């Protein structure tokens, strides 16, 4: 039992008015020691200046990396029409397995990756993973059979498990809950940018004529080298936390921590707390978000099927590679508009997600019922199914905003991303040769998944709103109002400094003043 949890003991309740509580620094947030004793409010203009400085130094790197990781992940889909299936003698089932093993590996290593992100510096740990996967991506070009491709895809999945989880942690460290909605949207919409750039790279490599190296191999080498450069940039320039960010002065670091106090989630805590992990496992919202994540990513199997489907509409390989760029444009526009609306309208995350799923349902209907000869109509219907990506993006920032306690947060992140893997790993097998060319069965499953997601986001909102109303009726909870840590003072002697409740690394259930955003 932690020192903080001991305050629920009856003896503490009986005597809490007679003495204050002293806790170990390992129990509290890393930001506590930095701003403990900090008096006064943060000047809004100064806070805004610090926020812009943070944006300038970390958002470009986050956007570049998310663009790179999505481009790398989808190289298999791009390579499908560049000769990888023929050169490696892949059957339909083997090709599907290459998509599945990536997510199975992601699934197996997701929780270890989250534990490592808590234990080690976030930026450095991600850099190591980026470096390993850049090598694995280049090694694709040396593969000549299913076994070789299976091995390198497994390594890619293992390494990528650190990126989205790491970005969710970093976003909650540096930004307020409203800011997180926009920032998560900004780095996630780079998936769309990746589709555009990957489409042009694929178009370009189709024109490379070499006798020993085929277009799909050039694609792997080019994207692998881009990733390697990204790994180096992250190692030297990406910060691990606002408490030690190289581009902030000591005073600016304190302001950076102080300005996110409203989140009531703190910065981070390097000490694993078993009781927080158990709470995460018993929290209903953990599993509702996980169910949403699994179902919403069943349609994500389109990532590796999209070029094959578009080609089946009657377009040439060159036309298909260029048309893939439109998918990216759709994703960029819809994510940007969605997160902007959600950030400007308070407590609108669930409603915005619901609305953005409607075009997806329409797209599924059109693909199933339009005449097969209407290839332009079918193409537009497929583009409609990309609009609902906004719902998953909003769920990432929403989960971070409604979960407090660092160990609990990394546990819920891991569970949600594991569910993401399950949806992605299972879905490729619904794309069977016997369903071609209309693929009615896969598209019906996709439609059911979208409809279920619409119901889940409304259910989450209803339950969290109900909990907020319950807490409003309870009044102020003063259990954690008088907590102190001991630290060296200016004269070298140990002194006791009061720690704000927001920096005690409390969970959202422990802190009854915590209110869930909707």
pLDDT class of 15 with cuts at 50, 70, 90: very low
Q: Cite the residue boundaries of each domain of the chain with CATH code 1.20.1250.20.
A: 41-269, 271-476
Q: What is the CA radius of gyration of the chain?
A: 24
The helix/strand/coil state of 22 is strand
- By the 8 A CB rule, do 307 and 321 touch? yes
pLDDT class of 485 with cuts at 50, 70, 90: low
Q: How far apart are CA 343 and CA 218, in angstroms?
A: 41
Q: Is the pLDDT at 253 greater than 60, yes or no?
A: yes
The larger pLDDT score, comparing residue 497 to residue 205, is at 205
What does the pLDDT read at residue 14? 37
The helix/strand/coil state of 484 is strand
What does the pLDDT read at residue 477? 72
pLDDT class of 3 with cuts at 50, 70, 90: very low
Least confident among 35-44, 114-123, 249-258, 339-348: 35-44
Mean pLDDT, to the nearest integer, of 164-169?
Answer: 88
Q: How far apart are CA 230 and CA 248, in angstroms?
A: 22
> Any idea what DSSP says for residue 486?
E
Among 407, 163, 409, CA closest to 286:
409
Q: Which residue has the tokens 């902030």?
A: 248
What's the whole-number average pLDDT of the chain? 83
Q: What is the pTM of this model?
A: 0.80
Phi, psi of 34 (to 5 degrees): -70, -40
**H-state helical runs in 250-348:** 250-258, 274-282, 284-296, 302-312, 317-344
Least confident among 204-208, 219-223, 238-242: 204-208
Q: How far apart are CA 254 and CA 39, in angstroms?
A: 11
Q: Which two tokens stand for residue 160?
A: 């990528």
Q: Is the pLDDT at 446 greater than 60, yes or no?
A: yes
Structure-derived torsion over alpha carbons of residues 99, 220, 234, 185, reported in degrees to the nearest 10? -50
Mean pLDDT, to the nearest integer, of 371-387?
Answer: 85
Q: Which residues contact 93 (CB under 8 A, 6 or more apart)?
A: none
Q: Is the pLDDT at 432 greater than 80, yes or no?
A: no
- Which of 11-15, 69-73, 313-317 has the highest average model confidence (pLDDT)? 69-73
Q: Quick one: what percent of the chain has pLDDT higher than 90?
A: 29
- By the 8 A CB rule, do 392 and 264 touch? no
What does the pLDDT read at residue 330? 87
What does the pLDDT read at residue 86? 85
The larger pLDDT score, comparing residue 469 to residue 96, is at 469
What does the pLDDT read at residue 372? 82
pLDDT class of 317 with cuts at 50, 70, 90: confident
- Which of 190-194, 464-468, 499-503 has the highest average model confidence (pLDDT)? 464-468
What does the pLDDT read at residue 2? 46
Q: Is the pLDDT at 4 greater than 60, yes or no?
A: no
The larger pLDDT score, comparing residue 197 to residue 267, is at 197
- By the 8 A CB rule, do 217 and 355 touch? no
Structurally, at CATH architecture level, domain 271-476 sits in Up-down Bundle (1.20)
> Any idea what DSSP says for residue 493?
S
The helix/strand/coil state of 16 is coil
The larger pLDDT score, comparing residue 387 to residue 203, is at 387
Residues 56-87 have pLDDT tens digits of: 999 999 999 988 888 887 788 778 778 888 88
> Any idea what DSSP says for residue 89?
T
List, edge to edge, every strand of the sheet that includes 21-22.
Answer: 21-22, 483-488, 494-498
Compute CA 471 distance to the chain's CA centroid, rounded to the nearest angstrom.
29
pLDDT class of 430 with cuts at 50, 70, 90: confident
What does the pLDDT read at residue 21? 58
Render 370-415 in DSSP notation, one character per residue: S-TT-HHHHHHHHHHTTTTHHHHHHHHHHHHHT--SHHHHHHHHHH
Q: Is the pLDDT at 490 greater than 70, yes or no?
A: no
Most distant CA pair in the chain, distance: 84
What does the pLDDT read at residue 255? 84
Residue range 41-269, CATH number: 1.20.1250.20
What does the pLDDT read at residue 18? 37
Task: Give the residues across from 498 on adjacent strands.
Answer: 484
Expressed in percent and rounded to 5, the helix, strand and coil fractions of the chain are 70, 5, 25
What does the pLDDT read at residue 376? 83
Q: Is the pLDDT at 220 greater than 80, yes or no?
A: yes
pLDDT class of 179 with cuts at 50, 70, 90: confident
Mean pLDDT, to the nearest integer, of 497-510?
Answer: 76
Q: Is the pLDDT at 466 greater than 60, yes or no?
A: yes
User: Burial letters for 404-415: b for 16+ Cβ neighbours within 10 Å, e otherwise?
Assistant: bbbbbbbbbbbb
Helices 190-205 and 215-237 cross at an angle (nearest 10°) of 140
pLDDT class of 395 with cuts at 50, 70, 90: very high
Q: Is the pLDDT at 233 greater than 90, yes or no?
A: yes
What does the pLDDT read at residue 368? 87
What does the pLDDT read at residue 458? 96
Q: How far apart are CA 200 and CA 219, in angstroms?
A: 11
Q: Which residue has the tokens 């040769």?
A: 433
Q: How many residues does the chain have?
A: 518
């Amino acid at each position: 039992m932690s020192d903080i949890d001991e305050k629920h003991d009856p003896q503490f309740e009986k005597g809490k008015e007679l003495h204050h509580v002293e806790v170990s620094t390992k129990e509290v947030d890393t930001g506590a020691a930095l701003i403990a004793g900090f008096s006064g409010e943060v000047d809004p203009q100064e806070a805004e200046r610090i926020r812009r400085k943070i944006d300038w130094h970390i958002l470009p790197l986050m956007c570049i990396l998310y663009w790179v990781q999505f481009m790398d992940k989808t190289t298999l889909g791009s390579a499908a029409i560049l000769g990888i299936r023929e050169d490696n003698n892949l059957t339909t089932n083997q090709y599907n397995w290459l998509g599945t093993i990536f997510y199975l590996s992601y699934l197996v290593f997701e929780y270890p990756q989250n534990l490592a992100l808590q234990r080690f510096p976030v930026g450095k740990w991600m850099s190591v993973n980026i470096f390993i996967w850049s090598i694995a991506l280049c090694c694709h070009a040396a593969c000549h059979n299913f076994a070789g491709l299976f091995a390198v895809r497994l390594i890619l999945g293992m390494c990528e498990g650190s990126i989205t989880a790491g970005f969710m942690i970093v976003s909650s460290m540096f930004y307020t809950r409203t800011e997180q909605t926009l920032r998560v949207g900004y780095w996630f919409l780079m998936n769309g940018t990746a589709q555009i750039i990957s489409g042009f790279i694929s178009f370009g490599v189709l024109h490379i004529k070499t006798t020993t190296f085929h277009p799909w191999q050039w694609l792997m080498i080019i994207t692998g080298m881009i990733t390697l450069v990204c790994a180096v940039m992250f190692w030297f320039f990406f910060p691990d936390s606002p408490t030690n960010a190289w581009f902030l002065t000591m005073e600016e670091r304190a302001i950076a921590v102080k300005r996110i106090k409203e989140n009531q989630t703190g910065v981070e805590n390097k000490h694993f707390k078993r009781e927080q992990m158990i709470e995460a496992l018993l929290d209903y919202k953990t599993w509702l978000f996980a169910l949403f994540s699994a179902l919403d990513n069943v349609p994500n199997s389109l990532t590796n099927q999209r070029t094959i489907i578009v080609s089946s509409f009657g377009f040439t390989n060159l036309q298909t590679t260029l048309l893939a760029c439109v998918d990216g444009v759709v994703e960029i526009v819809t994510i940007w508009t969605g997160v902007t609306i959600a950030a400007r309208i308070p407590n609108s995350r669930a409603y915005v997600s619901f609305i953005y799923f409607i075009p997806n349902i329409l797209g599924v209907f059109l693909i199933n019922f339009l005449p097969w000869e209407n290839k332009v109509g079918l193409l537009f219907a497929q583009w409609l199914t990309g609009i609902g990506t906004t719902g998953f993006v909003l769920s990432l920032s929403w989960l971070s905003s409604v979960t407090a306690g660092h160990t609990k947060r990394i546990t819920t992140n891991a569970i949600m991303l594991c569910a993401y893997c399950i949806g992605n790993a299972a879905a490729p097998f619904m794309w069977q040769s016997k369903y071609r060319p209309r693929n009615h069965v896969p598209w019906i499953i996709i439609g059911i998944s979208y409809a279920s997601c619409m119901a889940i986001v409304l259910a989450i909102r209803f339950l969290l709103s109900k909990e907020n109303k319950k807490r409003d009726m309870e009044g102020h909870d003063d259990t954690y109002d008088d907590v102190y840590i001991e630290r060296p003072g200016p004269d070298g002697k140990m002194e006791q400094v009061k720690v704000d409740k927001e920096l005690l690394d409390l969970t959202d259930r422990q802190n009854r003043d915590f209110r869930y955003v909707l």
